[in-house]
Amino acid sequence: MRNIKKILILGSGALKIGEAGEFDYSGSQAIKALREEGIRTVLVNPNIATIQTSKFLADTVYFLPINKFFVEKIIEKEKPNGILLSFGGQTALNCGLELNRSGVLKKYNVEVLGTQISGIKLTEDRHKFAEHLRKINIPVPPSCTATTIKQTLQSAEKIGYPIMVRSSFALGGQGSGIAKDEEELKKIAQTAFSFVKQILVEKYLYHYKEIEYEIVRDKDDNCIAVCNMENMDPLGIHTGESIVIAPSQTLNNFEYHALRDAAIKIVRSLNIIGECNVQYALNPYPQTPKSSDGGQTQPNGEIEYYVIEVNARLSRSSALASKATGYPLAYVAAKLALGKNLTEIKNKVTQITSACFEPALDYVVVKIPRWDINKFKKADEKIGSSMKSVGEVMGIGRRFEESYQKAIRMLDLEIEGATSEFIYNKNKTLKDYLKIPTPKRMFAISQALREKITVEEIYKLTGIDPWFLNRIKYIVDEESSIPKDIKKITKEKLLLLKKIGVSDKRIGELAKTTGLEIRKLRKKLKIIPSVFQIDTLAGEFPAKTNYLYLTYNGQHNDVKPQKKSGVIVLGSGPYRIGSSVEFDWTCVNTAINLRRYNKKSIIVNCNPETVSTDYDISDRLYFEELTFERIADIYDFENPYGVIISVGGQTPNNRAFSLKSYGANILGTDPSNIEIAEDRSKFSKLLDDIDVIQPPWDKFTTEQGALNFVEKVGFPVLIRPSFVLSGTLMRVCYTKEELLNFIKEATLISKEYPITISKFIVYAKEIEFDAVALKGEIKASVISDHVENAGVHSGDATIVLPPQRIYLETQRKIEQIAQKLASALSISGPFNIQYLAKNNEVQVIEINLRASRTLPFISKVTGVDFAALCVDAFFGKNNPALDLKINDFVAVKVAQFSFARLTGADPLLHVEMSSTGEVACFGEDLEEAFLKGELAVGGKIPEKGIFISLGGDENKIRFLDNAKDLAKLNLPIFATEKTAEFLKRNKIKAKVLYKIHEHKPPTLLDYLQKGKIDLAINLVDSHIKKDIDDDYAIRRAAVDNNVPLFTNFRKAELFIRAITRKKISELLIKSWDDYVGNN
């Protein structure tokens, strides 16, 4: 091995659609692999919620943007010998290519470890790559590259419609799409060209199978295929959007190995050192391919395939493959990057065999994406060749039906399985739902089967292989014969239903009883799941693995219970809007801290993107559902000391009461007090009792009651259901009409919960209070404030620590109220309170008796591990109360939005959360920290032109000083007609751009598309309805053209202050330790 002492690792930044938690997993494993070799690691990743940016992993962490400017400065300061580019997704790869192109790596003598730049560059240029593959006799789909719209259309003419558009250098296929005709193609190409210079126009391979291979290669040319996967959805649906099964199910030996062999050939030709993903289109009914376009005829002419994508780095699929097989791909890839031979690395799972092998599975995994498209106003729910999903889950079982139904429940959408009755939009037919892929298609399939539509017909409509459809049909058929009386259910029938993954609750529903009754019957009949290990070798060698799953297709357990030495920690489930990597951080740190109490950690989680599901984080990992049924099964088997439900976000928190009723020992705050906090009526009564003010509110089951209340308190009002997760269905209403409409929609969706209406207070500050208490006594707390006024969801808000605009008096009131609540609810463990402050008056919005989203942020900014404090509280350790003061810097948490991905979604921030991730950066003052943060989420300092659109007089007057500041930047200012008039009246020069619907040149759209604008500010008055659609068009156009957009006055104001007062060159390059110190 070379003499490398210090390595720079680039992370992937904030979680976004197409680039999410999988890179926390890969970076964390890489860091571990390097540390074992005694190498110092320097990590650049502004994503403060990640596990990789923890003290126990990277030696030095920079919470700074991952781009050439900042990374060059870090290289200059840190002088690393080597750099790893393959562990931080496309973000890291793009940054690495830029560092290389600009000569930075050469200048500072930084060696690229693992796959070399030349290989990476080849895979990133579609045209050159296609040429390359043709040269080595690997078929690629007939295609042409295009750099203009005209060229695109000409190429399409040549190839023939339908056409698939793919854009190079894009995350998760952004700017890709399928066009049936010229019109559609024009639209897709337009969007694509605003992100990239070159696109690929290729033949759309209709209803081909999509197959992937994960290949590992070392410097000595040893190659292994760690995993292959088959997409249940046919080609045309991005693999990140597909239901994926591993290993492949419908490939025979010849196909499996022909594709494996081709993948190895490709990997060799690119001189990959590390990991590489190869994606294929495989014709289910092969024809003799044309040889003219690179297609080759196989010896027996019985396979027709094309390579559609190669990722010369760790990817979403490799994270999945890693969890599917138990093979630590990222860890191994990092070792190989250092120059190790595959045979020198041990199989981490068995501890006795070599890492140079191909895992044999004796189970099957099914991955299903988690979408939250319906959380976005106006977003199109159709899924296709670019990613829209925000997370994923993986079900493990020994039958397809078992894994598939587990995965569906893991989505945490309160859907019991594959056959859940499906509510569809009345103006769409069932066949529409089958034909047009959406998140609902899974359920349309079982509905269609119930309606006796044949497998063959469903195949024609969906392109989903009959193999899968027949498995789903099996579930439908078996369910249809469940007796409607629990007494008539035989042992054989019940066992079979459990083997095919039907939940107790679902059986209960169909047998006209409850899930708990079925559970009782099941236990009486001794139908209980087996605990199986994932050992990478299908039982061939005895394995020391702690990686477990439950199955009914077994009759023995591979492990013995931990009993009272074990503590179950419930993870967060799939990443989604409102619950993501921050909860994994808390979960992981809680598990680690259990060691201090001599307890074995037993993590339950089902999300393959997480670090908590890594092989060496917990003493025992159940890759399992977070449903009551499954947790209770694990609890029954392990018989542990207790279970922790308050560190994995809302999902485990929701299980508190059912687990408590089941007799589980819940560590931390008593679930009956959690219920008080979650039930608005009970909580409100508590607030009244302890004399704490809250905005006036009430609960209503009738419209009239609601109207009477609103008349009393006046508009605007905030409406929401009683059980809230990231603001689902929350809405601020300004008029009676709006209110009535909303009530109609909301009650239709969630009838078991009444509607809650509270007075919405405008221009109020929103404040976060995070703390850990022991038996009602606060042991440590942190106050942070939002830049935006109340009305922007706290997950979307810009959060500042230490708080910048809170009076001492307000702070005192906040702390007093918190202590009162902690005592009243006898809190032991983490909790979070959201406050409103206006005119020196403090009101409580809500309390959560669990770790909040901000916990990793406050832990890393204060240098105090709040997860450790939580564990102390769970075990009753009486720590002295901490006084946490931050004096010499400011940290700002900035949300990452992925609106560009979500076709049609309105980017306007509101009470419902819409961000997909976050970063946090440090600075000497608010402006510096915020500017770094904004740059880290894709913001830019404007250099070309600024567009301003101010709705209503109030916004215009409020914004005037900011406009004057912007004018000092000497950049062209563009504005809508009225705004331009207003600016001119105030001596600010502005060129009028007409709105999109005005159809009058020059239009905003034109200027956006031509790249003449690189900052857009669109402030609207929520009350004013008349212009709303037009403003939506403005916002959407900005997002679609990748132009930074500000829609919130206070955030825009802060940004303008930052860019007018700070120069990028003045931003300090300081590590986390430089700010927080090494403790």
Partner 1 sequence: MTGKLILKDGSIFNGNSFGFEESAAGEVVFSTGMVGYPESFTDPSYQGQILILTYPLIGNYGVSDKKYWESNGLKISGLIVSNYIDTPSHFQSKGSLSDWLKSEKIPALEISDTRLLTEKIRNKGTMLGKIILKNNIAFYDPAKDNLLEKVSIKKVETLGIGNKTILMLDCGAKANIQRCILKRNVKLIIVPYNFDPFKNKINFDGILISNGPGDPKTAIQTIKIIKKSIERKIPTFGICLGNQILALATGGDTQKLKFGHRSQNQPCILEGTKRCFITTQNHGFEVNKIPPGFKPWFTNVNDKSNEGIMHKKLPFMSVQFHPEAAAGPVDTEWIFDEFIKRL
Which parts of this chain interact with partner 1 (CB under 8 A)?
A: 220-225, 247-254, 256-257, 260-261, 264, 284-286, 299, 302, 341-343, 352-354, 356-364, 398-400, 465-467, 470-471, 474, 499, 530, 532, 537-542, 552-556, 558
Task: Please list the alpha-helical segments (H only) found in 303-355.
Answer: 316-325, 329-337
Q: HSE-up of 392 (CA within 13 Å, CB side)? A: 33
Closer to partner 1 by Cβ: residue 470 or 672: 470
DSSP character string of 803-820? -SS--HHHHHHHHHHHHH
Closer to partner 1 by Cβ: residue 468 or 1007: 468
Cα 705 from Cα 462, distance rounded (Å): 47
At its nearest, how many Å lie between partner 1 and the CB of residue 367? 17
At its nearest, how many Å lie between partner 1 and the CB of residue 452? 17
At its nearest, how many Å lie between partner 1 and the CB of residue 467? 4
Report how far apart, in Å, the C-alpha atoms of 460 and of each of 434, 445, 828 are.
10, 12, 57
Closer to partner 1 by Cβ: residue 188 or 243: 243
At its nearest, how many Å lie between partner 1 and the CB of residue 213? 12
Task: Answer left, alpha or beta for residue 426, where phi above 0 means left and psi between -120 and 50 means alpha.
Answer: alpha
Closer to partner 1 by Cβ: residue 249 or 722: 249
Q: In the beta sheet, which residues pair with residue 177?
A: 165
**Token couple for 131:** 């040429």
Most distant CA pair in the chain: distance in Å?
Answer: 84
Closer to partner 1 by Cβ: residue 359 or 671: 359
Q: Which residue has the tokens 């990231």?
A: 726
Cα 982 from Cα 128, distance rounded (Å): 52
Identify whether 439 is preceded by a cis peptide bond (ω within 30 of 0). no
At its nearest, how many Å lie between partner 1 and the CB of residue 997? 51
Residue 727: phi and psi, rounded to 5, are: 70, 20
At its nearest, how many Å lie between partner 1 and the CB of residue 324? 12
3-state secondary structure of 215: strand
DSSP character string of 1001-1069? SSBHHHHHHTT--SEEEEE--TT--TTHHHHHHHHHHHHHTT--EE--HHHHHHHHHHHHH--GGGS--
Closer to partner 1 by Cβ: residue 260 or 630: 260
Q: In the beta sheet, which residues pair with residue 758?
A: 697, 718
> Strands 60-62 and 765-774, how do they pair?
unpaired
Beta strands in 576-619 (DSSP E): 600-605
Closer to partner 1 by Cβ: residue 166 or 260: 260
Closer to partner 1 by Cβ: residue 285 or 763: 285
**Token couple for 558:** 């591979």
CA 745 to chain centre: 27
Q: Which DSSP state fits 732?
A: E
At its nearest, how many Å lie between partner 1 and the CB of residue 632? 22
At its nearest, how many Å lie between partner 1 and the CB of residue 12? 31
**Token couple for 438:** 């959406």
Residue 392: phi and psi, rounded to 5, are: -160, 165
At its nearest, how many Å lie between partner 1 and the CB of residue 549? 12
Report how far apart, in Å, the C-alpha atoms of 356 and of each of 25, 216, 332, 359 are.
21, 9, 10, 10
Closer to partner 1 by Cβ: residue 467 or 662: 467
**Token couple for 1008:** 């956006």
Closer to partner 1 by Cβ: residue 282 or 890: 282
What residues contact 513, with CB distance under 8 A and at least 6 apart?
Answer: 486
At its nearest, how many Å lie between partner 1 and the CB of residue 343? 5
At its nearest, how many Å lie between partner 1 and the CB of residue 458? 13
Cα 576 from Cα 917, distance rounded (Å): 10
**Token couple for 712:** 């009393």
Cα 62 from Cα 1072, distance rounded (Å): 6
Closer to partner 1 by Cβ: residue 37 or 302: 302
Closer to partner 1 by Cβ: residue 364 or 1043: 364
What residues contact 43, with CB distance under 8 A and at least 6 apart?
Answer: 8, 9, 11, 27, 31, 52, 53, 57, 58, 60, 61, 62
Closer to partner 1 by Cβ: residue 398 or 522: 398
Closer to partner 1 by Cβ: residue 224 or 855: 224
Closer to partner 1 by Cβ: residue 33 or 500: 500
At its nearest, how many Å lie between partner 1 and the CB of residue 261? 6
At its nearest, how many Å lie between partner 1 and the CB of residue 530? 7
Closer to partner 1 by Cβ: residue 324 or 757: 324
Q: HSE-up of 982 (CA within 13 Å, CB side)? A: 22
Cα 649 from Cα 631, distance rounded (Å): 16
Residue 1045: phi and psi, rounded to 5, are: -125, 135
Task: Answer left, alpha or beta for residue 135, where phi above 0 means left and psi between -120 and 50 means alpha.
Answer: alpha
What residues contact 675, with CB distance under 8 A and at least 6 apart?
Answer: 656, 657, 682
Closer to partner 1 by Cβ: residue 466 or 904: 466
Cα 609 from Cα 595, distance rounded (Å): 24
At its nearest, how many Å lie between partner 1 and the CB of residue 911? 47
At its nearest, how many Å lie between partner 1 and the CB of residue 303? 10
Interhelix angle 329-337/316-325, rounded to 10 degrees, is 110
Closer to partner 1 by Cβ: residue 529 or 571: 529
At its nearest, how many Å lie between partner 1 and the CB of residue 253? 3
At its nearest, how many Å lie between partner 1 and the CB of residue 317? 18
At its nearest, how many Å lie between partner 1 and the CB of residue 268? 12
Given a contact cutoff of 8 angstroms between Cβ atoms, the answer to whether 620 and 546 are in contact is yes
Cα 406 from Cα 226, distance rounded (Å): 24
